[in-house]
């Protein structure tokens, strides 16, 4: 369904990176965008720049989300908020597990529960779930993150089934490495981290992901773009590693 048929959007994790780029993209299309994030200063700066409606709120605040979705009927929902605590699962902290499940999965489930039934009743809506290539491919040190993103991937497929018969569309976006500040948030902002993850690489920008989302939303109502995997041209996921058994002592 073209942007002109959508009036309101809710974007989580909206204060920076992909979330902020999506907010700006939607505002250029004339959509009323409710931008939700914990960082009040960055969120209000974004609101002053593009005219979105800021909501300084943790995405795990179920009462706050319920109150917001009771007041506003959303035509577009972008589940973008996410966190990571890279660590081998053998060394996982219980607090990290709870945090990733709460933010990356539980919040997505509850927001979807609050918003999608209204979309189905109005026969209009689009859900965009920002997943990750980590939901489909394995790489070391992110086991809980992989698990939560795989769950979001399956939810995206199941939503199509549950909303079948209505013009509610679901798009899963699976980014690889993107030039955003997520690496600084996870690993700390330092020259070493920027060199490790950003500098010297040819990477998609946050606005490239936002444009891909815009493409999916702007498609005719008869078209559902269900899945996009977006990686740098010079990045491939996966690989093959084989280890020899440890020698007996």
Q: What is the pLDDT of residues 64-107, one digit of tens each?
A: 999 999 999 999 999 999 999 988 899 999 999 999 999 999 99
Structural domain total, the chain: 1
236 belongs to a structural domain: no
Assess whether 145 carries a catalytic annotation: yes
> Residue 237: inside a domain, yes or no?
no
Tens digit of pLDDT for each residue in 1-39?
578 899 999 999 999 999 999 999 999 999 999 999 999
Q: Decide if 42 is inside a domain.
A: yes
Q: Domain limits at 51?
A: 3-230
Tell me which of 6, 137, 145, 201 is the catalytic residue.
145
Q: In the chain, which residue ranges form alpha helices assigned H by DSSP?
A: 17-28, 40-50, 62-71, 94-100, 107-122, 143-162, 182-187, 191-197, 206-218
pTM: 0.91
Q: CATH code at 139?
A: 3.40.50.720
């Amino acid at each position: 369904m073209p942007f002109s048929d959508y009036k309101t959007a809710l974007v989580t994790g909206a204060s920076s990176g992909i979330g902020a780029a999506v907010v700006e993209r939607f505002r250029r299309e004339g959509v009323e965008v409710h931008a939700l994030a914990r960082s009040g200063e960055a969120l209000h700066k974004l609101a002053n720049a593009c005219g979105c409606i800021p909501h300084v709120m943790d995405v795990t605040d179920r009462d706050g989300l319920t109150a917001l979705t009771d007041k506003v009927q959303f035509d577009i929902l972008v589940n973008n908020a996410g966190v990571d605590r890279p660590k081998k699962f053998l060394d996982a902290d219980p607090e990290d597990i709870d945090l990733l499940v709460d933010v990356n999965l539980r919040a997505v489930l509850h927001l979807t529960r609050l918003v999608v039934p209204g979309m189905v009743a109005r026969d209009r809506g689009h859900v965009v779930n920002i997943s990750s290539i980590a939901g489909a491919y394995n790489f070391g040190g992110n086991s809980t993150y992989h698990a939560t993103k795989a769950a979001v991937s399956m939810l995206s497929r199941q939503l199509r089934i549950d909303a079948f018969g209505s013009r509610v569309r679901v798009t899963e976006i699976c980014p690889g490495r993107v030039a955003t500040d997520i690496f600084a948030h996870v690993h700390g902002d330092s020259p070493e981290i920027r060199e490790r993850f950003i500098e010297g690489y040819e990477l998609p920008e946050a606005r490239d992901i936002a444009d891909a989302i815009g493409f999916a939303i702007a498609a005719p109502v008869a078209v559902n773009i269900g899945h996009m995997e977006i990686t740098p041209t010079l990045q491939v996921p996966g690989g093959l590693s084989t280890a020899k058994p440890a020698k007996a002592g």
